[in-house]
Structure 1
Amino acid sequence: MTRLLRLIPFTCAALLACVYSFSAHATITVTDDTGAPVSLAAPAQRVISLAPHVTELIYAAGGGSKLVGAVSYSDYPPEAKQIPRVGDNKALDLERIVALKPDLIVVWRHGNAQAQLDRLRELNIPLFFSEPHQLDDIAATLGKLGQLLGTSSTADAAANAYRQEIARLRLRYASRAPVSVFYQVWDQPLMTLNGTHMISDVITLCGGRNVFAKLQPLVPTVSTEAVLAANPEAIITASAGATKPDTPLPQLDTWRAWPSLKATARNNLFAIDGDLINRPAPRLAQGAAQLCEDLDVARSRRPAGEP
């Protein structure tokens, strides 16, 4: 009996070692934004980001040191500018990607050409597709990336902080008097976003109403006449932030040619830093806060007696 008791500590230690060894090598599986499972035998160590918002998500999730490649305009946080480039959202350098030997590639489906995505699949490198559509999806993506990167504690903390910021905005603005909004993506041709886009979710968060929410596809083209008929109370677009695009962003001054348009008559033509409002990453909370403030300005400019 004495000998048996002496063996118990060693037996327990051996069992714990086996459990640790199993957990350390257990397969990590998450579901990406296309609904597909993504499995890794161990946390990713060499990651490539194929969208600027993905780069921001990976840094926020605690995996910045594991990034070995990124596309153009991956410029936040500042250290992201030093990551080797592997092309942009129009053309990827597939040879460069292969040479970097990634064990995980995080892809933006709508930003990367389908033909090149098909070639990436042929490389048999795990792909995680990032395509968040609602505000809450950003926090969920942070959690999933944390699992894939082995940085869950950092990722979960970032997700919780983001959720709290969005919850504060929702509590403050969502029940305020509705403001009809036209969100202008581009001016020639005139383009907007429908109700399934994340920016439309931001508009709703702020107590706004997307006047073209029911249109298809995700980024529909509209006519000037359609905007005039909708007569939005506010028109919003993205301005150039720290990232300067190759082509100028759409301007709102052209709407001053229609002084009877409600948004023009009340000077409710707003531009928000494109890096904050266009990228589905944690900084979107800052862009949302700006949009909410702009809609509050629009409310303050209503004629006396108008609800």
Structure 2
Amino acid sequence: MRVFIPAFLVAAVSLAWVAPASASVTVVDDVKRTITLPAPARRIVSVAPHVTEMLFAAGAGSQVVGVTEFSDFPPEAKRIPSVGNGVTLDLERILALKPDLVVGWNNGNAALQLAKLESLGVPVYKSEPYDYAAIALSMERLAHLAGTDMMGKKAADTFRHRLGQLQETYQKRRKVRVFYQIWRTPLMTLNGAHMVSAALRTCGGENVFAGLSQLAPTVSIEAVIKADPEAIIASSGEQDDVLAAWRRFPGMAAVKRGNLLLIDGELLNRSGPRILDGTEALCKQLDAVRKKS
């Protein structure tokens, strides 16, 4: 991919990064790379919704000057200029914002564009939190890069405390076997390494396809019927009934007991601080399933 970037923009961005070496800040990102800034970031571009949520939670919201179009929380994020949709980024617009830090998600086409930004000298923090501990740690690391350490530590400590309470309340309750549907055609789910499986474990749930090797594998209807989960869960937000097709199989435990459930995907599927809201909602749903058995 060739992207034309005016020379004056590159020069302008380079000048924005000049700062006293004594004020430098250093962290290790989620792919184990060391990121050093000459001074705490004052102009940050977020290229993933979960990153935007973490930056605001860590006290750096006022320093965010660019986001992707699906960054809709907190409400203030909707007023920040968009730099793309997360899959395709507008590099010229990003450079025009003169960021001294870009926080990105290392996926697909965006990964190539993040590499292009790095080749131009833009510091890039890669965010890929795959468990609760990484979310809390990410808020602390991003806060350090933004110079908001105290707020980041407070957000991380609050997150860890609430997680502990959820684990203590639900984790040891009777296991509920769950099929978590993320897509209908083809039929797709998530394996045991995904954050959703961590949420299920926190709630005393068990992902029936946790053992598959791919993070988001395709499975057959026959495989789901054979696994016979006690509950089938999908994300809400679509116009039609995403679980309607399962009612053709009344012999399945989930169908027979009325356990075709919806969960707010923005809460549970984003690896940001609100995932605990999604986890708590999931825990309450699985408790309702237990009462039907």
Same fold? TM cut 0.5: yes
Map Cα deviations across residues 254-289 of structure 1 (whole Å, 9 max, x no partner).
111100111111111111112111111111111000
What residue in structure 2 maps to residue 8 of structure 1?
none
Contact in 1 for aligned 2:171/2:202 (Cα 8 Å): yes
Q: Distance in 2 between matches of 1:138 and 1:194?
A: 19
Q: 1:231 aligns with which of 228, 233, 243?
A: 228
Q: Secondary structure at the match of 1:260?
A: coil
Deviation, 1:121, is 2.2
Q: Secondary structure at the match of 2:83?
A: coil
Please say if residues 32 and 38 of structure 1, whose CA atoms lie closer than 8 Å, have aligned partners that are also in contact: yes
Which residue pairs with 2:44 in the alignment?
Answer: 47
Distance in 2 separating the partners of 1:45 and 1:118 = 21
1:93 equivalent to 2:90? Answer yes
Letter in 1 for 2:113: Q
Instruction: Give the direction of change, closer, same or farther, for the CA distance of 1:236–1:61 in structure 2 (3 Å limit).
Output: same
- Please state if 1:184 is matched with 2:181: yes
Task: Supply the AA of the counterpart residue of 1:257.
Answer: R
Distance 1:157 1:112, change over 3 A: farther
State the SS of the aligned residue for 2:234: strand
1:290 aligns with 2:281: yes
Cα deviation, residue 113, structure 1: 3.0
Q: 1:51-96 CA distances to partner (integer Å, 9 max, x unpaired)?
A: 1111010000000110110001111111111100100122110110
Q: Paired residue for 2:250, among 259, 268, 287?
A: 259
State the Cα deviation string for residues 182-232 of structure 1 (Å, max 9, x = none).
110100110000111011100000011111111121110101011001111
Name the residue aligned to 1:211. Answer: 208
Task: Find the aligned partners of 1:275 and 1:250 in 2 and give their Cα distance.
Answer: 18
Q: Residue 16 of structure 1 aligns with which residue?
A: none
Percent identity reads 49
Contact persistence 1:49–1:107 (CA under 8 A) = yes
SS at match of 1:113: helix
Aligned residues of 1:50 and 1:112 also touching (Cα < 8 A): no
Distance in 1 (alpha carbons) for counterparts of 2:83 and 2:141 = 24
Give 3-state SS (helix, strand or coil) of 2:35's partner.
strand
Quote the offset at 1:166 in angstroms: 0.8
Q: CA deviation at 1:140?
A: 0.6
Letter in 2 for 1:151: T
Partner of 1:162: 159
Q: Following the alignment from structure 1 to structure 2, what is the Cα–Cα distance between the partners of residues 252 and 84? A: 36
Secondary structure (helix, strand or coil) at the match of 1:141 reads helix
Q: 1:278 to 1:87 in 2, by over 3 A?
A: same
Mapped to 1, the partners of 2:194 and 2:120 lie a distance apart of 31
Report the secondary structure of 2:65's partner residue.
strand
Q: How does 1:29-68 map to 2 (within 5 A)?
A: 29-68=26-65
Give 1:250 shift. 7.3
Aligned residues: 274
User: CA separation of 1:283/1:180 partners in 2, compared to 1, >3 Å: closer, same or farther?
Assistant: same
SS of the residue 1:190 aligns to: coil
Q: Does the Cα contact within 8 Å between 2:174 and 2:204 map onto a contact in 1?
A: yes
Q: Which amino acid aligns with 2:29?
A: D
- Structure 1 segments (4+ residues) deviating >4 Å: 247-250
SS of the equivalent of 1:183 reads: strand
Distance in 2 between residues matched to 1:166 and 1:189, nearest whole Å: 33
Matched residue of 1:191: which SS? Answer: coil
Shift of residue 253, structure 1, vs aligned partner: 1.5
Within 2, Cα distance between the matches of 1:110 and 1:228?
32
Identify unmatched segments of 5+ residues in structure 2.
1-19
Structure 1: 5+ residue stretches without partners: 1-22, 241-246, 303-307
Q: 1:24 Cα deviation (Å)?
A: 8.5
